[in-house]
Chain A
Amino acid sequence: MTDITQALAEIVGEDYVSDQPEEAYFYARDPGLMPAHKPDYVVVPKTAEEIQNVVRLANREKIPVVPMGAGMALTGLVIPLKGGIVIDMKRITGILAINEKARLVIVEGGTSQGLLKAYLEKNYPKLRHSIPDSPATATIAANVMIHGQGRLSQQYGFNSDMVAGLEVVLPSGEICKIGSCSISPDWFSKGAPMPDLSGLFLGWFGATGIITKVALKLYPKKKMRDVEIFITDMEELVPDIVHELTYTEMVEDITVFAQPLPMIFRDNHHITIFFTGDTDTELEFKRKMVWDALDRFIKSKDGGFMGVPPVMKPTLLDSPQRSVTRFADVKKGGGFEYSGPIILVEKYPECSRKIKELAEKYDLGYSGMARIIGRGHCMMYGFAFTFNRADPDMMERTRNALHEVSEYALKAGGVFWKPTVDEQKMALDKMDPNTRNLMGMIKKNIDPNGIMNPGNWEVN
């Protein structure tokens, strides 16, 4: 046992530290396509205090530290690019407090989306959170850290917009509270009406600190939920359709998918519209509003509602949608990766054309999936390609296709979502120099030894 392993064992307990080849192999990679890089140590702490002590040790010894939730970003954000200590957060899973009337919850840094969903369903059936379609093991802290989106993003913005306070371990090992909780016992705002310091951490992928607590805004959960799919074969109409739908203010979530398989989906754009209600009357009223809003497209024969077969409904209403994960096995190969730029909805037609062009060029299976954010303020357009992990050539073609997506997305005015390190470099290169300098100053001042998830958001 090395001195560092011994020191880590004293902090987290011998059973929860590893410097063994098995953990080094597994934690060196994620399910995506980024090259592997081994950690020197993996720890699975139980408390924020243990994390503090691990970070203090790392800071003293100048060892990199990489926090990891479920590791499902697919873009290599938890791959320890410079080795060091991976902190697996999934033993810290508390749901610490709920304020039912204010619709707020405080969870710990490793609490999963699935766990919070199960907890709310059991104890607070009138409350819900904006659950993303990543696997249920994905953690809430990591999701807000990457500015994830979820079921309620059409109504309330990015999931990180729903943060109501943070507790973070700084690179120095100190615990810092962010938001109203820094001066009040109540966690209800991440910033306003004070300077919003959450921006020092959200979106930084752990390069400035490790989130150990998140307060999250919850929202009303209606008793019923239903889904309609509007189909058009004219991609240029999708932005208008979305515009009409968001105007109704009747809709929970709007996603759009277009993919060549199975055959029934080919050549069409499926605008999937979710809505909720406490009564049949409420649900039917919303359905009617949605139908009325799209009436003109039906009249002009440019689109129509697809009768969603009853067997398909549970798949669509599933939350998180397990079918999204199943995309990984389309090629019987356990892999998919997507580049998901955040971009204006009006760019949908060109994104849609681009993914088809790239899929053809590189001979890949694909799915284009957009999730509307805000009332049509922007969308995440996922250029998703499925690959066979046992086929190096297909993996390389997927990498190349994704690289072209990155170049295209920047040119089209998009901003990378959960960018790979290569995309981070591209973004920093294109960024306004003063903004880039500001980012550099922040990183240098918060993390002078550069120990926090090094390689990410590095401004040279």
Chain B
Amino acid sequence: MKYEEIVHRCFRCGYCKLTSDYTDFNCPAYRKFRFETYSPGGRMWLIRAWLNNEIKNSERFQEILFSCATCANCVEHCVFVFSEDLVNIFIAAREEMVNKGIIPPAVRDYLKNISINGNPYKEPQDERGKWADGTPVETYKDQDYLFYVGCVGSYDERAKKIAGAVANLLLKAGISIGILGEKEKCDGNEVRALGEAGLFQFLAKENIAYFKELGVKRIITLDPHAFNAFKNDYPGLGGEFEVYHYTQILAPLIKSKKIPLAEYKAKITFHDPCYLGRHNGEYDAPRKILGAIPGVEMVEMEQNRENAFCCGGGGGNFFTDILGGGEDSPNRIRVQGALDTGAQIIAVACPQCAKMLDDAIKAEELDDRLEVLDVAEIVTRALA
């Protein structure tokens, strides 16, 4: 297994499951299951035991490995030099399991759907660009930016609205964008996170070849997950593009008043998406956008920025739902944290977080007290 030479170095001290100021346990899988085995250190020790044939690849072992949301809280807070490889280690272990074909059914189905249908929803490929119907968004030809939407933004009803809001704002500000529509393919971020390295490489190489064929130089992504794959994994496979998350494009446009805003009175708390924040260090762009809206009062949740508590959707859990269910599921814990701030709106910058937190609000019966809106949707409400 890749990283095999590191797994024995975990001291199981548990710093990785906390925030930097120790206010709470911050590993979403540990928060839900509460056995040490579901903490980052627990995974390290069990992976080692598995490699040494001291335990087997059981259903529970699979649940332990695949409930990791790849949120990188452990990467941020483990006190040892190998911390940066923790998520890579967990993914490497998943790769071994995928290679042997012994994985949870939900993971198998997800991977199967991507390889057969090109998306996890089993929807036809020609439906992929439907979200843009009735909008002035054009197919990519030679525009300045490719606007890459991803599977969730393309097919999920809630996320399609967010894709529309982002596209409208970019066009309104005069940004030249084009989409791939029915030609768009899965970016593979979750495929990689779920340990299907071969399929990921295939998707990435196909995307890279197609982007190059079209002459794409710059990409704006809707989804931080795609942003992460394009920015961090594609270059190693020959895909060097200028990659932006849409909030990084919107923030300067709003500052320079290219998108004029009127007053919008609301108390808002921002939920950092792990693949924008901890994985890529972008904490400010969404906050700058929201902070620039007249009338908006920003409040922070206790766990924010590099200490943000994951919604539980990362690492493929959005699709496999291994972390879902029950009042200790991470998305429900997160909306309670938002409620504590007194905010009326939880702002998100990721379609997966939007869906996860929407579901949690319903489960917690907080519909009349909290609303989940993407940053782009909030800006749309505040347009002058």
Chain A residues within 8 Å of B, Cβ to Cβ: 15-16, 18, 20-23, 25-27, 30-31, 42, 44, 70-72, 88, 90-91, 112-115, 117-119, 121-122, 135-137, 322, 325-326, 328-329, 332-336, 388-390
How near does chain B come to A226, taking the closest CB pair, in angstroms?
21
How near does chain B come to A123, taking the closest CB pair, in angstroms?
11
B15 proximal to A (CB < 8 A) = yes
Stretch at the interface among B17-25, B93-101, B338-346: B17-25
B23 touches A115 (CB 8 A): yes
Which A-B residue pairs are the 7 nearest by beta carbons? Answer: A114-B22, A137-B14, A334-B9, A135-B13, A328-B11, A390-B8, A118-B23
CA distance A191 to B126 in the complex (A): 77
B45 proximal to A (CB < 8 A) = yes
Contacts of B12 in A (CB 8 A): 30-31, 71
22 contacts between A and B (CB under 8 A): A20-B58, A21-B55, A22-B46, A22-B58, A23-B36, A26-B45, A31-B11, A44-B35, A70-B14, A71-B36, A88-B34, A90-B34, A113-B22, A115-B24, A122-B23, A135-B14, A322-B15, A326-B80, A329-B9, A329-B11, A332-B9, A333-B9
Contacts of A88 in B (CB 8 A): 34-36
Q: What 1/0 mask marks residues of chain B from 19 to 63 whose CB sits below 8 Å from any chain A CB?
A: 001111000000001111100001001100100001110101100
A22 touches B11 (CB 8 A): no
Contacts of B14 in A (CB 8 A): 70, 72, 135-137
B81 proximal to A (CB < 8 A) = yes
Contact-size category for B: 35 or more
B18 touches A137 (CB 8 A): yes
A25 touches B49 (CB 8 A): yes
B37 touches A26 (CB 8 A): yes
Contacts of A71 in B (CB 8 A): 12, 36
Contacts of B56 in A (CB 8 A): 21
Closest to B79 in A: A322
How near does chain A come to B138, taking the closest CB pair, in angstroms?
51
Closest to A388 in B: B8
B46 touches A26 (CB 8 A): yes
Closest to B64 in A: A22
How near does chain B come to A159, taking the closest CB pair, in angstroms?
17
Closest to A390 in B: B8
Contacts of B326 in A (CB 8 A): 15
Closest to A391 in B: B8
CA distance A27 to B42 in the complex (A): 10
How near does chain B come to A408, taking the closest CB pair, in angstroms?
26
CA distance A378 to B64 in the complex (A): 45
CA distance A335 to B10 in the complex (A): 8
Chain B residues 301-355 with CB under 8 Å of chain A are 326
A115-B23, A137-B18, A325-B79 given. 6 additional CB < 8 A pairs?
A23-B37, A31-B13, A114-B18, A115-B24, A332-B9, A336-B11
Contact A334-B10, Cβ < 8 Å, known A42-B35, A114-B22, A118-B21 = yes
Closest to A21 in B: B55
B36 touches A27 (CB 8 A): yes
CA distance A340 to B35 in the complex (A): 29
Contacts of A112 in B (CB 8 A): 22
Contacts of B82 in A (CB 8 A): 329
CA distance A329 to B34 in the complex (A): 26
How near does chain A come to B131, taking the closest CB pair, in angstroms?
38
CA distance A91 to B35 in the complex (A): 10
Contact A26-B42, Cβ < 8 Å, known A21-B56, A44-B34 = yes
A333 touches B8 (CB 8 A): yes
A25 touches B54 (CB 8 A): yes
Contacts of A23 in B (CB 8 A): 35-37
Contacts of B21 in A (CB 8 A): 118, 121
Contacts of B49 in A (CB 8 A): 25
A72 touches B13 (CB 8 A): yes
Contact for B36 among A26, A326, A333, A389, CB less than 8 A: A26
A335 touches B22 (CB 8 A): no
B18 touches A136 (CB 8 A): yes
Highest count of chain B CB atoms <10 Å: which of A71, A112, A136: A136
Closest to A46 in B: B34
Contacts of B36 in A (CB 8 A): 23, 26-27, 71, 88
Contact for B9 among A16, A21, A22, A389, CB less than 8 A: A389
Contacts of B60 in A (CB 8 A): 20-22
Contacts of A15 in B (CB 8 A): 33, 326
How near does chain A come to B156, taking the closest CB pair, in angstroms?
29
A135 touches B15 (CB 8 A): yes
Contacts of A21 in B (CB 8 A): 55-56, 58, 60
Contacts of A42 in B (CB 8 A): 35
CA distance A70 to B17 in the complex (A): 12
Contacts of A26 in B (CB 8 A): 35-37, 42, 45-46
